[in-house]
Structures are given as structure tokens and as C-alpha cells.
Structure 1
Amino acid sequence: MESPVVSVQAQPRDAVSWIALARRLEADGYDALLAADHPGTAASPFVALAAAAAVTERIGVGSYVSQAGVREPLLLASDVATLDLVSDGRARLALGAGHTPVEWDMVGRNRPDVAGRVRRFQAVAEACRALLAGETVTVEGPETQVHQARLTAPRPVQHRVPFTFGGGNTALLRWAGAHADVVGLSGLGRTLPDGHTHEARWDGADIDRQVDLIEQGAADRAEAPAREALVQLVEVTDDAEGAAHEIARRVGCEASAVLASPYVWIGTVEEIRGTLAAHERRWGITRYVVREAHLDAVDQVRAHLSPAVR
């Protein structure tokens, strides 16, 4: 097994710690610094990441993920292109359909049903990618409207900005299999009544189904998109079984699902490494996004990877 690609999702708390984090990730060989995109409850990812790009030279930068329901294609494409410019070609585009109802409410939009959110996502994603590619875009539909839009300045430095789809909808997983560079699996199920949190969907059979949908969508491509998992918890411990039972109790699933899940790294360093290898064999997961809160534990795992494969 080669070492997985690991990125970090974080939010700025202040200028000093944010800049220090960016420099730490660059020095330690992480792939990217990513920021959530939740208008009203999180920092603007593109402003924060532009600051991080100014003190780094290698790591990728991008939102994880932007919400197609509240982002307009031209404005999103302009943000991504500007980030690509100031980072000298390190920006990523990442987009999801939008599972947080309150965000739709705050921007004055009615949150559509699932089919409507799927249509909105596809319209925004396709328009945004076309704009970043230098095309002139017109979209006339109930989901979004764009009239002869063109991104003349700034233009991205990259010839093609990498695109990640984040989500678990059946139709969009097939679509992502055909169009995305990376598919990010989050393990998030139904949105709970608070409008922000979600049921945990960590069962291996669910992931089997999602990966099968990606492969179906990629049937006409030379290579299916890379698979990535959003890691919700990392715990280095000698008692993986006991920790798994406690986590299972909190999230409402079986301990066996916790131990086998790509959304949790739990156990000794060697146990975690073995689990990551199993994820690659079963689901083709070779990329992970971890949260800043677990960075010290992730560093422990990465420190024990062979230098030849890091």
C-alpha cells in the first residue's frame, strides 16, 4: 500500500494561528489546506485560503465543499480563479448539493426537494467548470440563470482546475463518476432537525453501493475518479474495541461499523495503517481529509509510514 494522500480541513480562529497552520502543513507534507464553506457560520474560505497561499508554495487550497444551492456560478468561478491566481495554480473547485436547510433560508431561497437540489447542483457545477475553462455560458432554467457570462479576468493559472464532488446522492454519484476528478465521501446521512447535524451513515454496505454508483458513472472513462473520505474522528489507542463502542453509542451505529469505517481512524498506529489498506482494497479510497482538531493524532500515524511511500 502506498501512503494515502491526506489533506486538512480547518477554520481560521485568528491570523497568527491560521498562518502557522498553513506553514505547518506545508512543512509536514500534507496535500492541501481546505476550508468549509458555510456562509454565516464559517469564515469565507476563499479569503482565508488566499492568506494561507501567500505563506506557502506547494500545498493545494480550496473550499470543502461549496454549496451549489447558495453559490452562483459566475461568482464562484471568479473566487476559484482568483484563488488560483494568487496561489500560482494551486486552487481546487469542490462542490456539493447543499444539505443545510438554514443556509438556503438565510439567502432567501426556498430549499427544493432532492430532485430540485440535484438539478441545481448539476446546473451550477457545469456552468462553473465551463467558466473556469474559458467558455461563454448561458443557462436558462428554473434552477439557475446565467446570461452570456464569461470569466475574462482573472483567468486561472491552471489549464484545468481539479474538481471534487462531495456528497452521497445516488444520481450525483453517477454524475460525479462521469465528470469529477475526486469524489469525496462524507458518511453523512439524513439532516437532523437542528438543520446542521446529520445521521452517521457508516455501514460498509452503504459505501459499497456508493462506490458502485461512481463506477457506473465512470464506465465510459479511461479511469474512474479518485475516492476520498472525510475523517470525522482520529484516536490513537490500545483499546480500539472499547473506543469504538463509545463512538457507536454516540452516533447510533454498531461498533463493528465504526472499526471498519473510513470516516474514523481508531486503534494503534499499526491497526490504523492496516485499516487504511483495507479501505483501499475494498473501496479504492486513497485520499483522506482530516479535521484540524485531530492533527496531532494524524501526525502520529503519518510518522510511522515508510519514507519510501510517504
Structure 2
Amino acid sequence: MTTFSLQAAPDDATAWLDLARRAEEIGFEALYVADHPGSTAAPFVALAAAAVATSRLRLGSYVVNAGVREPILLAADVATLDVVSGGRAILGLGAGHTPAEWAAVGKVRPGVRARVDHCIAVAEQTRRMLAGEGMDQPRPVQQPVPLLIGGGNTRLLGWAAEHADLIGLSGLGRTLDDGHSHEVRWHTAQVDAQVELAGGTPMEALVQLVEVTDDAGAVYDKWAEDTSTPAEDLIAAPFMLAGTIEEIAAKIRAVESRWGITRFAVRRPAIEAVETLLRRH
């Protein structure tokens, strides 16, 4: 069964709670909040507020920067969210790619391997604490709280295949010089490799681009030009969806058939498209 999650962030209290209710009513599986301290909302505060306005929607960080979060504080945040939501929390973790966020806590962003090592250590320690080792209260409702690992690093994906409940594939690669944007990994062979590394662990694709249109070819051609990626790779990849609702539904079926990906996370501008898709299919 295909499921959709929504990644968003609050900018107004009423609008945020309305968005959470709407996402639940439409049929979204989860609501995610990103974690970029200094430039985004605090994920667990926002998600706790959304918990009050919903009853079914799962709530998760997508994804916490493991480089700037202490495991004991992270475990307390996740456990508290799980309590106030009645057992709907998801712990989403990533290695942390933005240099400014490391600098804000007095650290220099290390190289890729060290970041991955640190992310794995934080994930392991946080899970132990959520299970009761070194943290008496609060006790989460879920045992265990589901762990989502986001990223494209080969070693991190290999670890996640053995230890995570869900792997978030973003199709993004090396961080560029601005410290925020990335190279893209949208070639078919690159998706094949990441799916193979996932080793059967459930995967969720973070859809970077969505456009409902009667001329999908023109849209894919433009995206191909913008990203220096062959259009045929974009037409196949799970990270962008273009076309009529029926064409998008057909692509989702093709992605599931080829890669076994049945979960998709989208951002706020894609809400209407997902609502129409779920209503028709």
C-alpha cells in the first residue's frame, strides 16, 4: 500500500494546527519537521503541538542533526513526544551536513566518515536510553520508538539496513560549498545502489519536485537541464513526480515495482496533488 508523509514547519500557531488536522484528514501517514537549528523550527516542540490537534498521524523529525544533539536530551524529547501523542513518535536521525550548525555548538564539522560514526553512536545511545538505560523518565509508549535514518552515505545506509525501521532516501549526495545544497543522486544506477544497500528495510523517498501538468515531458526536460541529469533518469527516479494525476499514479506504481518503494514524503506545496491522488486511487 502506498503511503505519503508530509514535511512542513510552523510559521503561525493556528495555521500549523490546521495543517496537521488537514494532513490527517487527507490520509497522510506522518507529519515530519526538519531540524536545522538557527533556520528552522524546533522539531519536537512543533510536533508536540501537532499531537494535540491529531489522533492518528505519526509525528517525526526528518531528520535530527545528530552532530548537534546530545543523546540524553534527544531521548527525552522523543520520549516526551511519544507520551503526549499516545505512541505516535518517530525518531528520525541524520549525520548533519551544515557547517554552521556544528559551529553554533562550538564544533568544527568533521569529515564524512567521522560524521557517520557520530550519527551511528548517537542513534545507538539514544535508542538505549529510550529503552530505559540511563533515563528513568519519561518512558515512551512505544517499545521501541521507530528509528528512521536519513541520508545517502554508503556506510550509514548499510548500518541502517541492520538497525533502522525505516530508511529515508533523499536522492542527495555531497554537500556543496555553500554548506546547505547538495549534488543530486538521481541517476537510475545510483538509486539501484542505494536500494541494494537498504537490504529490504522499508524505504521512504523524499520527493524533491512535484508538478501536476499535462506536459510531463517538458517539465522533466527542464528539471534535467537544471540538474544536469538525463531526463530518462528523472522520469524513473522516485524523487520527482510530474504529469497528470493518473501519470503520477502510474509512476508511483512503477517505482514500487522496480525498487519496492511504497512510501513517499512530500513538502507542503504538494498537499493538493497528494489529496487528489489519494481520493482517486
Q: Give TM class, smaller chain.
A: over 0.9
1:85 aligns with 2:69: no
What residue in structure 2 maps to residue 184 of structure 1? 168
What residue in structure 2 maps to residue 246 of structure 1? 222
What residue in structure 2 maps to residue 308 of structure 1? none
1:134 aligns with 2:132: yes
Q: Distance in 2 between matches of 1:289 and 1:214?
A: 17
Normalised by the length of structure 1, the TM-score is: 0.89
Deviating runs (4+, > 6 A) in structure 1? none
Residue 251 (structure 1) shift: 2.1
- Equivalent residue for 1:161, pick from 141, 145, 163: 145
* DSSP-derived class of the 2:100 partner: helix
What residue in structure 2 maps to residue 265 of structure 1? 241
Residue 250 (structure 1) shift: 1.8
Structure 2: any 5+ residue segments left out of the alignment? Answer: none
Residue 236 (structure 1) shift: 1.1
What residue in structure 2 maps to residue 288 of structure 1? 264
1:238 and 1:268 in contact (8 A); partners too: yes
Q: Distance in 2 between matches of 1:113 and 1:171?
A: 14
Residue 269 (structure 1) shift: 1.4
1:71 maps to a residue whose letter is: R
The equivalences for 1:78-227 within 5 A come to: 78-135=76-133, 150-215=134-199, 224-227=200-203
What residue in structure 2 maps to residue 11 of structure 1? 9
Name the Cα RMSD after superposition: 1.0
Residue 238 (structure 1) shift: 1.2
1:22 and 1:56 in contact (8 A); partners too: yes
- Equivalent residue for 1:50, pick from 27, 45, 48: 48
Normalised by the length of structure 2, the TM-score is: 0.97
The equivalences for 1:4-83 within 5 A come to: 4-83=2-81
2:65 and 2:93 in contact (8 A); partners too: yes
1:275 aligns with 2:251: yes
* DSSP-derived class of the 2:226 partner: helix
1:234 and 1:298 in contact (8 A); partners too: no
* DSSP-derived class of the 1:184 partner: strand
Residue 252 (structure 1) shift: 2.3
Q: Tell which deviates more after alignment, 293-302 or 54-63.
A: 293-302
Q: Distance in 2 between matches of 1:120 and 1:77?
A: 16
Q: Distance in 2 between matches of 1:37 and 1:114?
A: 19
1:30 maps to a residue whose letter is: F
Q: Distance in 2 between matches of 1:252 and 1:299?
A: 31
Q: Distance in 2 between matches of 1:119 and 1:272?
A: 38
% of aligned pairs identical?
A: 56
Q: Distance in 2 between matches of 1:125 and 1:159?
A: 15
Residue 294 (structure 1) shift: 1.6
* DSSP-derived class of the 1:120 partner: helix
The equivalences for 1:230-245 within 5 A come to: 230-245=206-221
Q: Distance in 1 between matches of 2:11 and 2:88?
A: 23
Q: Distance in 1 between matches of 2:205 and 2:128?
A: 26
2:24 and 2:57 in contact (8 A); partners too: yes
Q: Distance in 2 between matches of 1:304 and 1:234?
A: 17
Q: Distance in 2 between matches of 1:53 and 1:232?
A: 26
Residue 237 (structure 1) shift: 1.0
2:185 maps to a residue whose letter is: R
